[in-house]
Amino acid sequence: MASVVEYKGLKAGYYCGYCESREGKASCGMWAHSMTVQDYQDLIDRGWRRSGKYVYKPVMNQTCCPQYTIRCHPLQFQPSKSHKKVLKKMLKFLAKGEISKGNCEDEPMDSTMEDAVDGDFALMNKLDIKCDLKTLSSDLKVSIESEEKEKEKSLKKEGSKDLIHPQAIEEKLGSGEPSHSIKVHVGPKPGKGADLSKPPCRKAKEMRKERKRLKLMQQSSAGAFEGFQAQGQPVSLLPKAKSNQPKSLEDLIFESLPEDASHKLEFTRFLCNSPLEAEHPANGPECGYGSFHQQYWLDGKIIAVGVIDILPYCVSSVYLYYDPDYSFLSLGVYSALREIAFTRQLHEKTSQLSYYYMGFYIHSCPKMRYKGQYRPSDLLCPETYVWVPIEQCLPSLDNSKYCRFNQDPQAEDEGRSKELDRLRVFHRRSAMPYGVYKNHQEDPSEEAVVLEYANLVGQKCSETMLLFRH
């Protein structure tokens, strides 16, 4: 199995959805007929990113809004206050039916679909959140429809129009802005008084006194704990010490709900159609490597679908689209936090899988800086392709849209193409080294195109992927 790609070359001077420049954008792209997960891992570590089967790389020193590859460290990640508010908002909604009001929209979209080079496939502009689902790639629609058909007959009757509305296309990582919430439960009717089936409300001052009393009891009984336990007394009778440790991401996401919870949120995962070839190595994650749909089901109704790529060293977020009727749940933020937790789970089985790639960070567009809130995180140097902590990059980005993050002026791109003749070509149904292929070519422009491709993908990928040539 080998990756087969068709290089499309440079596309410059077209519309940018970030700054609305009509002719400011520049990128190079290629069509991936098939691709191994390792090749794609190596490509995104050189600044590439896929939209469907189209794989593109911004020309960083030319494009109007440089897009820097960003990755998060899930093993060290701690949710911020705004992240915790989103998770607690979801828990309150599931447990008690509370809904939010006010401004609870997620941050703007990132790159969901890059513009087509030849116009031969339907792709979306990154900020066009009003785009109808008909503009999605046919492969994605067919995959989603086939998955829905497998559900119960009652779900079929709802139809796809109940699943996604216009304005439902949304990139994953929202800001998690705090919002106020109100309960949808109706209180006691006039004249009925308080609900006597529930314990009376307690003042905050009384609750603080109670916590202090329990803490003193715990301290006084600490010395006698071993003897108390040895006499056969149940440990559960001891007052529990209040932990000073903040709740982990998993504690907030997987907190148990009451039996009478108002709502039920479930998740399913399916392989989806993409250029990435699914792989199931013995030492890999149980679900294998490849592209997956993560479906979010609320009370039997699908409300969101996220697409992720599970690669040898990371989970890469592709995009998320959801029913806008549930935007009050900040599903962009919530799905990102769940995927960070999912990456942690995969790491337990596959130790080298330890990063969460969030696509591109665009510092020159203030609305697209929200990914910097997921820390610790790194940005990829666009010249040497080494990872640099985002804190070290921000001062430079404040002064210039395009920056080299590697502070060593002598450092070079270690993965650059060094031996062009070893590049692999697929020509007339045969794979061959470029050194053999070029002996039969008379077009003087051919070598310039191949050299441009080789410099962009690097020596490693140029030797493992097959470059299709007519």
Using alpha carbons only, what angle is made at residue 111 by residues 105 and 117, rounded to the nearest 5 degrees? 145
- Please report the pLDDT score of residue 153 as a whole number: 43
Min mean pLDDT across 233-242, 287-296, 373-382, 412-421 is at 233-242
For residue 306, give the nearest of 170, 177, 115 by alpha carbon.
170
Confidence tier at 216 by pLDDT (50, 70, 90): low
pTM for the model:
0.76
Domain residue ranges of the chain, discontinuous segments joined by +? 76-180+246-349, 417-440+459-470
Taking the CA atoms of residue 267, residue 273, residue 276 and residue 280 in that order, the dihedral angle to the nearest 10 degrees is 60
Tell me the pLDDT tens digit for each residue of 36-69.
999 999 999 999 999 999 999 999 999 999 999 9
- Please report the pLDDT score of residue 209 as a whole number: 65
Chain-wide mean pLDDT for the chain? 80
Alpha-carbon gap, residue 166 to 323, rounded angstroms: 9
Confidence tier at 205 by pLDDT (50, 70, 90): low
Give yes or no for residue 248 having a pLDDT over 70.
yes
Confidence tier at 243 by pLDDT (50, 70, 90): low
Alpha-carbon gap, residue 165 to 129, rounded angstroms: 11
Alpha-carbon gap, residue 224 to 97, rounded angstroms: 44
For residue 379, give the nearest of 396, 366, 365, 367 by alpha carbon.
396
For residue 90, give the nearest of 311, 259, 253 by alpha carbon.
253
Tell me the pLDDT tens digit for each residue of 368-404.
999 999 999 999 999 999 999 999 999 999 999 999 9
Tell me the pLDDT tens digit for each residue of 438-459.
998 888 889 999 999 999 999 9
Give yes or no for residue 330 having a pLDDT over 90.
yes
Region 314-334 average pLDDT: 95
Q: How many CB atoms lie within 10 A of CB 409?
A: 6
Contact by Cβ (8 Å): 432, 424 = yes
Alpha-carbon gap, residue 163 to 310, rounded angstroms: 25
Alpha-carbon gap, residue 326 to 163, rounded angstroms: 11
247 or 237: which leads in pLDDT: 247
- Please report the pLDDT score of residue 144 as a whole number: 46
- Please report the pLDDT score of residue 359 as a whole number: 96
Give yes or no for residue 271 having a pLDDT over 50.
yes
- Please report the pLDDT score of residue 122 as a whole number: 26
Bridge partner list, 378: 71, 389
Confidence tier at 299 by pLDDT (50, 70, 90): very high
Min mean pLDDT across 189-203, 253-267, 309-323, 427-441 is at 189-203
Region 403-411 average pLDDT: 97
- Please report the pLDDT score of residue 454 as a whole number: 98
Tell me the pLDDT tens digit for each residue of 109-123.
554 334 433 332 222
Tell me the pLDDT tens digit for each residue of 256-266.
999 999 999 99
Give yes or no for residue 275 having a pLDDT over 80.
yes
Q: How many CB atoms lie within 10 A of CB 162?
A: 14
Region 346-365 average pLDDT: 97
| Range among 22-31, 220-229, 243-252 rated most confident | 22-31
Confidence tier at 247 by pLDDT (50, 70, 90): confident
Tell me the pLDDT tens digit for each residue of 127-159.
222 233 333 334 445 444 554 454 444 334 444
Structural tokens at position 352: 């080298």
- Please report the pLDDT score of residue 103 as a whole number: 52
- Please report the pLDDT score of residue 162 as a whole number: 43
Bridge partner list, 48: none
Give yes or no for residue 105 having a pLDDT over 80.
no
Region 202-211 average pLDDT: 64
